[in-house]
Amino acid sequence: MSVADEITPTIKPGDDFNRYVNQRWLEANPIPANKARYGAFGELTDQNMERLKGLLEQPSVSDEAANLTLLKSYYRTAMDEADIEQYSPKIVADVASEVAALSDAASILDYITKIHASGQELLWTPFVDLDDKDSRRYVLRFAQGGLGLPDRDYYLEDSERFTEILAKYQAFLTSLFELLGQDDAQGRAKGVIQLETSLAEASMTATERRDPDATYNLFTPDSLAAAYPRVNWTQYFAAQGFGEAREVCISQTAFLTAALDLTAATAVSIWQDYLLVHTLLPIMNKLGRAFEDLAFDFYGRTLRGATEMEPRYRRIIGALMQILPEPTGQLFVETYFDESAKATIYDLVTHLQAAFKVRLANLPWMSDETKAKAAAKLATFLPLLGYPDKWRAYDGVNLTGSYVTDARALERFEWQRVVNRIDQPVDRREWLMSPVLVNAYYWPNTNGITFPAGILQPPFFDAGGDFAANYGSIGGIIGHELTHGFDDEGSKFDPDGNLKSWWTEADRKAFEERAARLVAQYNSYEVNGRHVNGELTLGENIADLGGIQVAYDALQAKLAELGKKDKVDGLTPEQRFFAGYAISWRENIRPELSLQYLVSDPHSPDQFRTNGIVRNLDAFYDAFGVEAGDKLYLAPDERVRIW
């Protein structure tokens, strides 16, 4: 289908560009009952999952890569519902028995230490990442956690909708305790919510968590022990496999202080109930139909708005992408990835980098000193395309044929893998997601951009399709990730990936003044009676705005190279470019999930990723003849220009 076939000509592009391009698709593709959202990303994800299903169900052969044999074996185990129903009661009973034996704050923390060593998070989240201030090394990090609801606002905001959700969460916990055979289920549920509310009060907001300076708090072993004496850190580090105490970077220090104090200030019985719930929550989808149905009723139906579960094979494949990211990618790319796409995308990245370099040189608000440093950072961008250079090995993983047991074995393996690299050289080419995912990301510590094979397909990229639409769709996404290196967070990292100021004071002030105007614009947008949070979404909005401008400039350079601007189906290259961009962000979404995203997601709602961006671009006005009186029209001095 051509871009022209997507358009609804009765809608003025200057009134609602999103619906001008996407109305036909939105009407023809209502959200399936088993989904909370459905759009370009979801459509391609479904295609990838169906392809994976076919590959996973093929029998293993003698010369098959060990990773793929492991993957297929785990998939078969996960699909065996009869076996899951058989072993589930013992797993639940073992957890309940262990938690019931806890007697004081020390034993509570010992239990948390043990769970962390198994590769799971509990109360707070341990992970190993590059050091923000020394990207040549890895460091252990702690981040806040411990909540059963998506964000602190669900506990603390005094609104009718959140009060209703909290009541339904209490009902869910009550049902869970009843399923576990616990007495006073309602009282236990209230106690868990009371504890989680205290944790929520100590948590950073989603906006605060975006500040890399505020979340960088490095502790030596001695200062860690002094600041948080309740934890036996020698025992903790030994249990994780570090061998000795280590430096730790704590993202939310006040949260960890409050959480540890609560281990002593809150009744042990409440902690027992809390730990029982939060040990089981991550594995409820592995404990049989009763637990799965209960979890879906709250997390799928209440929080997301879906009315049916996804088919089991899709739930399992989604989990495989997380727990075995590289084997799923390996299986997919060996059959479905067109290797020529790698060279084409690399060429496109190079063209966009060149366009960005020109934009940097011509910025009217930035000094030559900062421009030179920005250009140096741009030159060091590391593109990772398609899939990793070398597939990760899973030597030493022994699967038993029990779903939960095997999942735990894989989680322990992954945790030990990241723990073991703490003193190893940094791998700047490491992949942080499965190559089969329909996604892309920028990693500030490596100054790297990654585009998995999963997204390098229509509607985002069509090797044989219209080049102008490609520049708008995948080009816009490439430009988006490039611009992340210069958004309100990424701009604080130098070319080597270190959190270090490289701007003049005047340039930083000029940048922030322009960013504040974008914040104000997005604060004015509303969905279902709730406003977008312009500060929370600022980084993504800057990346959207800069990305589409860079992609447009690259398109103009390509057109100049070709020496022609032919129309296709009556549309100019510029019109097809903007339509390709809008197609990427078409999506229907349920109000329940929309609320969750408005509260905690740094991305703006999809309609504003189109309409909120294009209305700031002079080229959009020129391409579609947008004029005063059109709903998207902004006077030239009201249009935000940053990069």
Would you list the DSSP string of 262-319?
A: HHHHS-HHHHHHHHHHHHHGGGGGGS-HHHHHHHIIIIIIITT--SSPPPHHHHHHHH
Look at the block and give the residue holding tokens 């025992």: 235
Spatial neighbors of 538 by CB under 8 A, at least 6 apart, are 210, 487, 488, 515, 518, 519, 522
**Cα 483 off chain centre by:** 17
> Measuring CA to CA, which residue among 544, 549, 617, 555 is closest to residue 585?
544
Residues 24 and 4: their CA atoms lie apart, in Å, by 11
Instruction: Determine, yes or no, domain membership for 370.
Output: yes
Q: Residue range 61-77: average pLDDT?
A: 94
CA atoms within 13 A on the CB side of 279: 26
Instruction: Determine, yes or no, domain membership for 584.
Output: yes
How do residues 544-570 score in pLDDT, each as one tens digit? Answer: 999 999 999 999 999 999 998 899 999
Instruction: Determine, yes or no, domain membership for 489.
Output: yes
Angle at 642 between CA 637 and CA 643, to 5 degrees: 130
Q: Residue range 34-51: average pLDDT?
A: 98
Spatial neighbors of 533 by CB under 8 A, at least 6 apart, are 206, 207, 522, 523, 598
CA dist 118 to 122, 243, 367, 510, Å?
11, 16, 51, 48
> Measuring CA to CA, which residue among 41, 11, 13, 43 is closest to residue 28?
43
- Looking at residue 62, its pLDDT comes to 84
Mean residue pLDDT of the chain comes to 97
The token pair that represents 164 in the structure block = 């209703």
> Measuring CA to CA, which residue among 325, 314, 360 is closest to residue 49?
314
- Looking at residue 63, its pLDDT comes to 83
How would residue 1 be classed by pLDDT, with cut points 50, 70 and 90? low
Instruction: Determine, yes or no, domain membership for 335.
Output: no
How do residues 475-508 score in pLDDT, each as one tens digit? Answer: 999 999 999 999 999 999 999 999 999 999 999 9
Instruction: Determine, yes or no, domain membership for 293.
Output: no
Contact of 20 with 12, CB cutoff 8 Å:
yes
Give the helix ranges, DSSP H, for 485-568.
Answer: 505-523, 538-562
Biggest alpha carbon–alpha carbon distance for the chain = 78
Residues 618 and 600: their CA atoms lie apart, in Å, by 31
How would residue 360 be classed by pLDDT, with cut points 50, 70 and 90? very high
State which residues form the domain around 567. 3-30+354-380+462-638
Dihedral sign from CA coordinates of 310, 36, 209, 482 = positive
- Looking at residue 431, its pLDDT comes to 97
Instruction: Determine, yes or no, domain membership for 333.
Output: no
> Measuring CA to CA, which residue among 93, 298, 75 is closest to residue 189?
298
The token pair that represents 453 in the structure block = 């094979």
Q: How many domains does the structure of the chain reveal?
A: 1
Angle at 455 between CA 451 and CA 459, to 5 degrees: 135
Residue 179 sits at φ, ψ, to 5 deg, of -60, -30
Instruction: Determine, yes or no, domain membership for 615.
Output: yes
The token pair that represents 407 in the structure block = 């999942």
- Looking at residue 61, its pLDDT comes to 87
Whether the pLDDT of residue 189 is over 80: the answer is: yes
Q: Residue range 510-537: average pLDDT?
A: 98
CA atoms within 13 A on the CB side of 85: 5
- Looking at residue 233, its pLDDT comes to 97
pTM value is 0.96
Instruction: Determine, yes or no, domain membership for 488.
Output: yes
Amino acid at 357: K
Query: What CATH number is given to the structural domain containing 613?
Result: 3.40.390.10
Contact of 450 with 433, CB cutoff 8 Å:
yes
Give one DSSP letter per residue of 142-172, joined into a string: EEE---SSSSTHHHH---HHHHHHHHHHHHH
Residues 203 and 253: their CA atoms lie apart, in Å, by 9
Angle at 595 between CA 594 and CA 596, to 5 degrees: 90
Kindly give the pairing relationship between strand 218-219 and strand 382-386: unpaired
